Amino acid sequence: MSNRKPLLIIGLLVMFFGPVVLSLSADTIHLKTGQWVEGSYLSGNATSIRFRVNGVAKNYLITEIDQLQFGRNTTTASQRFVTFQNTMLSFRHPENWQATQDGDSWIIAPSGGRVRDRNGDQALAYGVTVDTFQPRDDRYSQQFQSPNGYGQPSLDEETNQLIDELRQSNPNMRFTGGRENIWVDNTRALSTHLSNDSPLGGRETNWLITMQRPDGLVYMVFTAQDRDAQNYQPIFQQMLDSVRFIR
C-alpha cells in the first residue's frame, strides 16, 4: 500500500485547518534552495514541518519548502508491459505508467512522475516524452555541408537544432556524454545524453533519442533524477527496444 499523499492536500490541511499531526513515512523534502533532504515526516502546522533526518528531528519553515513528496514509489515499475501507440509509432511501457497527451507531445510516466515546478507549471521528473520536431533548412543547411545536400539537414544537424530549441526553455541543460549512432526499428537514430535541472531539485538525466521520419524529427526524452537514473535505465532500454514505426 502506498503512503504517498498529494502535496496539495497536505498544504491545504496545514494552511486552513491549523496544526496537523500525521505519522507517515515521507520520501523527500525539497527546499527552495534546490537542496533536498530524505527522512520521515512527523508533524506540521501553519508555519513549519517537523522532519526526522538520520534519527534527528528538525523543523523546517513552510517558507523554506518548495515541495514535500511522500513515498518512494516512483521507481516502482510493473513487470507487465502494455502497448502505447500514436499516429507515428508504438512501443511498450510498464502497465502502471500512464500515457497522457500534452499538446502535440505524449508523456508516459509513473504515478508521481509529473510534478509542479517552482513556477507552478507541470513538469516531468520521471518518465518519457515523445514528440516531433520540425527542423529549419535555411540557417543550418548553409552553415554545415550536409551529406544529404542543402535540401535537408543531416540527423546530427537536426538533433543540434532540437537541443537548441529545448535549451530555450531549459537554459541549464548540458551535454554529459558523447553522441552515439544506434538503430531503432531498423532506422538510424542518435543517442545523446544530457543533464538538466530537476523540478524536484538537484539534477536529472535526459536520454535523448532522435530519428528522421517523413513527418519530421521524431524524438524521445527519457527522464529521471540523477540518483535514480541507473534504476530506470533497464526500463527505458526495454521501452526503446520495443519501438515500432507505423509510417
- pLDDT tens-digit profile of 173-182? 999 988 999 9
Q: Note whether 57 and 85 are same-domain residues.
A: no
Q: For residue 19, what are the domain limits? A: 7-70
- 120 pLDDT exceeds 70? yes
Of 2-11, 135-144, 151-160, 187-196, which range is least confident?
2-11
Looking up residue 120, the CATH number of its domain turns out to be 3.40.1000.10
Q: What is the mean pLDDT of residues 73-97?
A: 84
Highest mean pLDDT among 94-98, 123-127, 129-133: 129-133
Q: Note whether 24 and 105 are same-domain residues.
A: no
pLDDT score for 68? 66
| Measured distance CA(76)–CA(200) in Å, rounded | 18
Highest mean pLDDT among 9-23, 51-65, 69-83, 178-192: 178-192
Q: Note whether 105 and 36 are same-domain residues.
A: no
Contact 68, 7 (CB under 8 A): yes
pLDDT score for 164? 95
Q: What is the mean pLDDT of residues 113-117?
A: 83
Q: Note whether 22 and 141 are same-domain residues.
A: no
The answer to whether position 75 is within a domain reads no
How many domains does one find in the chain?
2
pLDDT score for 6? 40
Q: Note whether 128 and 205 are same-domain residues.
A: yes
Q: Note whether 180 and 105 are same-domain residues.
A: yes
Q: Note whether 186 and 90 are same-domain residues.
A: yes
**Residue (of 24, 37, 31) closest to 71 by Cα position:** 24
Q: Note whether 32 and 116 are same-domain residues.
A: no
Of 40, 70, 100, the last residue of a domain is 70
The answer to whether position 76 is within a domain reads no
The cell numbers describing 177, all together, are 556524454
The answer to whether position 192 is within a domain reads yes
More reliable by pLDDT, 130 or 2: 130
| Measured distance CA(74)–CA(52) in Å, rounded | 21
Q: What is the mean pLDDT of residues 217-225?
A: 96
Confidence of residue 74 (pLDDT cuts 50, 70, 90): very low
| Measured distance CA(13)–CA(63) in Å, rounded | 16
**Residue (of 142, 126, 138) closest to 207 by Cα position:** 126
Q: Note whether 205 and 240 are same-domain residues.
A: yes
| Measured distance CA(201)–CA(198) in Å, rounded | 5
